[in-house]
Structure 1
Amino acid sequence: MSRPNPRHVAFDAIRAVSAEDAYANIVLPRLLAVTGLDSRDAALATELTYGTLRNLGTIEQVLEAAAGRSLDSLQADLVDALCLGAYQLLYTRVPTHAAVSTTVNLVKAAVSPRVSGLTNAVLRKVAARDLAAWLDRLSTGDRIGDLALRHAHPKWIVEEFDAVLGPDETAAALEADNVAPPVHLCAKPGRIDRDDLAGKTGGTPGRWSPYAVYLPGGDPGKFKAVATGRASVQDEGSQLVATALANVPMDGPDASWVDLCAGPGGKTALLGALAAQRGASVDAVEIAPHRAELVAKAAKGLPVTVHTGDGRDFGPRGTADRVLVDAPCSGLGALRRRPEARWRKRRSDIDDLSRLQRELLEAAIGLVRPGGTVAYVTCSPARAETAEVVTGVLKAGGVELLEAQSITRTVPDSDRDGFVQLWPQRHGTDAMFLALLRRLS
């Protein structure tokens, strides 16, 4: 029986993403389980898959220059194989002869022997220059376009980051997107202490969240605290914005909390654990039934009631004390977690989402009582999904902007004109945005 080939596994994963719109973080583990690759080969297959998908736009520009033709003129499975081979040549230490010969053999077996000669010729041309030389050759002198090329992001995403960060920091943010993030755990308050969780997992306490633990690597599901629900996998930035809502001082009752966009349930579970310590309860609203099931699982044993429905229609009005709007968004703040995501998104997605985000925030303001607090959260720094949504609501009146003191006073460089903006390159978190609002009347 032949030994499983990590490059074939990577190719199959890339094909699934390309042809079937699959998610790499779902399809690759399945392939690894089926093929039974040992740990070393599994690591190689993972690097090749994620690296190729993450750098796809830049790799395709190099390949078109090397081939002297548009990649649209080639069959799709051949393009995927060429991208896999070019990634090895440009971004890894795999020797040229190995990268070329293994890709040619892959094409013969998985695409067609008839195009193996073309594969060899194109990859030989790619190998004639290293990455730096290719980037110099393809550079146009346009600052945004060259940043997009060098850091493998669509140009429009670079523009969105640049509009918020400015030219001095945009490159660092793009570079941070290309580094695989560490695993963050959340020690659910009242269920396990953070330092105890760090000791049991071999992790280290987080810098910002009182519940965060950083893992050095490996499968977090193997730890008993995670398997039993006392801890969960959750980015530290998500922990911070959920905790910020719970930490806002308020006058009057504080027993009814609502999460209007609860799926998949990470923030809901943290809010539920905090609510349990204060004698409060959480109503979690999720429009998608399968995601509502995930919320129920994440919040099992906590004072959380899950409702399947549209957060824009949840009521009754003026009764909630604290409301979280973790709004559906473009996810530009978490591009480092899904390598293929950046190439699937379009600027038009933001236009559609911003209308929904505004409607959800308005619904939350109607739901909360006078004196109550609303947290508006997105995992995106894009202006149309963040400051513009909140500013529009503030202009309409009836609410005031609050400082998220639990974040801005402890996490440096997190204030953004009265809002909170976290960044991977500054804080090691996803690029989470938070605005805290108090209803006045």
Structure 2
Amino acid sequence: MSATVAARRVAYETIRAVHESDAYANLLLPTSIVRAGLAGADAALATELTYGTLRRQGTYDAVIAIAADRPVHEIDPAVLDALRLGVHQLLSTRVASHAAVNESVELARAAAGRGAAGFANAVLRRVSRDTPGDWMTHVAASARSDDEQLGLLFSHPVWVVRAFRRALAAEGRADELEALLTADNAAPRVTMAALPGLAEPPEDARRTPFSPIGFRLGGGDPEGIVRGSGGRIRVQDEGSQLAALALTRALPVGAGERWLDLCAGPGGKTAVLAAEALAHGASLEANEISPARAGLVRRALEGVPLEVPVSEQDGRVRAAEARDTYDRILVDAPCTGLGALRRRPEARWRKAPSDVPSLTELQRELLDAAVGALKPGGVVAYVTCSPHLAETAGVVADVRREWGAAIEEISAREVIATLSDADPGLPEQADGSGRAQLWPHRHNTDAMSVTLLRRV
């Protein structure tokens, strides 16, 4: 088997695992690439085929439905994934048409037999006869509404399109919706963090515009630099960096402060908090309900010479057992993850509107418990990797109503602006809050939401 064929097979098997076993592509793919012995251009091809196919799945399904003259749910799932991979190569890469068709047909044959191969061949040859532009015209014409058309063309579920529009409209920027959807379908640039006080970026690195600890490499292997730093340099989205720093730098740190990262997995923000705690003489504790993710937190902390105990409790229980204890608490709450679709493209197909109410209930309970665990004068940072207004503004509004005058807001927008070399351009929200909302299309970060609340 040639390396190129192996790259396609790795991509196909990863996509199948995502759909069949709810695997996470960002966790499975690197292991599969190593196991297959892929490197250089072949590893890059496997990565592009996997992520590109998952990102544009909604669009490709519309193309396949037209070319096959049947709904995609009537197509064998294993054959459908082979078709998606083939359509991606035909419409979005420079792979030769005959190679894209032939290899995808062979994947269908191996998965479901000769009949499936004939069907796949017919569909892909139909797709190859029209240009990508022609297919976008066909797809647009198949939509039943303007929102469905946006969802099909930009490969987002309609409910996500509408949630994004509302979140942008809260800043008076609803006209940026297509730019946001486009950014979600682009591969993110690798961003790194040098833990404050413990590491500095390499000499040839370019500093990020907003985070004082962030940088991007001019070249070289990020993983090699991470390993060589002993964990003091790491790959981390700039928005994640800013969320952690917003908590540590919202107010001057007093002597002997106690900090808590309540929902710490997988530990990127925890490591930043630990470095900041070390620099300021504070102590840090971490909590993560999932044992596997708690293990990741411990590993993330290995580069910081600070003892950080990691508990494995429900965050609501953990906070309720520590009333009036902490000076700073990070609540990086479980959420829909709609802000990280560039890096986890399959997430858009796994969540539904019905998931939001249970998540917002959990988020409210976590934030409420965290406020109760603050000392008077303590600060909590409520963070979601989602711009959905129910998960951000709605949760905070509910908790503020419950606590009334016992809590006040610190403007996260102003705090983040003071961290940045460049103006992050964070406008006031429609509700008048100080919430900071970052965006892929504006800041080249995940769509991270940050709110700071101080217990009076």
TM over 0.5: yes
Tell me the amino acid that sits aligned with residue 177 of structure 2.
T
User: SS of 2:264's equivalent?
Assistant: coil
Tell me the amino acid that sits aligned with residue 143 of structure 1.
D
Task: Check whether the contact 2:59–2:139 (CA below 8 A) recurs between aligned residues.
Answer: no
Measured after TM superposition, the shift of residue 339 of structure 1 is 2.2
Name the TM-score, length of structure 1 as normaliser: 0.93
Q: 1:13 matched to which residue of 2?
A: 14
Which runs of structure 2 are paired with 1:62-141 in the superposition (5 Å)? 62-139=63-140, 140=143
- Structure 2: state its 5+ residue gaps: none
CA distance in 1, matches of 2:327, 2:148: 46
Measured after TM superposition, the shift of residue 114 of structure 1 is 2.3
User: SS of 1:381's equivalent?
Assistant: coil
Single out whichever of 263-272 and 225-234 deviates more from structure 2: 225-234
Q: 2:376 matched to which residue of 1?
A: 370
Measured after TM superposition, the shift of residue 346 of structure 1 is 1.2
1:306 maps onto 2:314 in alignment: no
Task: Check whether the contact 1:378–1:386 (CA below 8 A) recurs between aligned residues.
Answer: yes
Q: 1:154 matched to which residue of 2?
A: 157
Quote the RMSD (CA, aligned, Å): 2.0
Residue of structure 1 aligned with 2:416, choices 391, 407, 416: 407
Measured after TM superposition, the shift of residue 401 of structure 1 is 1.1
Q: 2:448 matched to which residue of 1?
A: 432
Single out whichever of 124-133 and 172-181 deviates more from structure 2: 124-133
Task: Check whether the contact 1:250–1:372 (CA below 8 A) recurs between aligned residues.
Answer: no
User: SS of 1:386's equivalent?
Assistant: helix
**Per the alignment, do residues 336 and 3 of structure 1 end up closer, same or farther by CA in structure 2, a change over 3 Å counting?**
closer
1:172-230 residue CA offsets vs partner (Å, 9 max, x unmatched):
1111111111122111112113xxx232xx42111111111113566422115655022
CA distance in 2, matches of 1:164, 1:289: 34
1:261-316 residue CA offsets vs partner (Å, 9 max, x unmatched):
11111111111111111111011111112222221222232242212212212232
Q: 2:246 matched to which residue of 1?
A: 244
Residue of structure 2 aligned with 1:350, choices 350, 356, 379: 356
Name the TM-score, length of structure 2 as normaliser: 0.90
**Per the alignment, do residues 162 and 390 of structure 1 end up closer, same or farther by CA in structure 2, a change over 3 Å counting?**
same
Q: 1:212 matched to which residue of 2?
A: 214
Measured after TM superposition, the shift of residue 334 of structure 1 is 0.6
1:421 maps onto 2:428 in alignment: no
Provide the identity percentage: 49
**Per the alignment, do residues 278 and 378 of structure 1 end up closer, same or farther by CA in structure 2, a change over 3 Å counting?**
same
**Per the alignment, do residues 230 and 30 of structure 1 end up closer, same or farther by CA in structure 2, a change over 3 Å counting?**
closer
User: SS of 1:438's equivalent?
Assistant: strand
| Aligned residues between the structures | 435
1:323 maps onto 2:332 in alignment: no
1:391-425 residue CA offsets vs partner (Å, 9 max, x unmatched):
11112212111112231354432244221000111
Tell me the amino acid that sits aligned with residue 351 of structure 1.
P
- Structure 1: state its 5+ residue gaps: none
Q: 1:174 matched to which residue of 2?
A: 181
Measured after TM superposition, the shift of residue 113 of structure 1 is 1.8
CA distance in 2, matches of 1:234, 1:252: 27
Tell me the amino acid that sits aligned with residue 31 of structure 1.
S
CA distance in 2, matches of 1:4, 1:138: 30
Measured after TM superposition, the shift of residue 323 of structure 1 is 1.1
Single out whichever of 252-261 and 421-430 deviates more from structure 2: 252-261
CA distance in 1, matches of 2:96, 2:253: 66
1:292 maps onto 2:294 in alignment: yes
CA distance in 2, matches of 1:178, 1:226: 32
User: SS of 1:191's equivalent?
Assistant: coil
User: SS of 2:451's equivalent?
Assistant: strand
1:372-406 residue CA offsets vs partner (Å, 9 max, x unmatched):
11111111000110000001111221211111223
User: SS of 2:202's equivalent?
Assistant: helix
User: SS of 1:168's equivalent?
Assistant: helix
1:226-245 residue CA offsets vs partner (Å, 9 max, x unmatched):
55022222111111111111
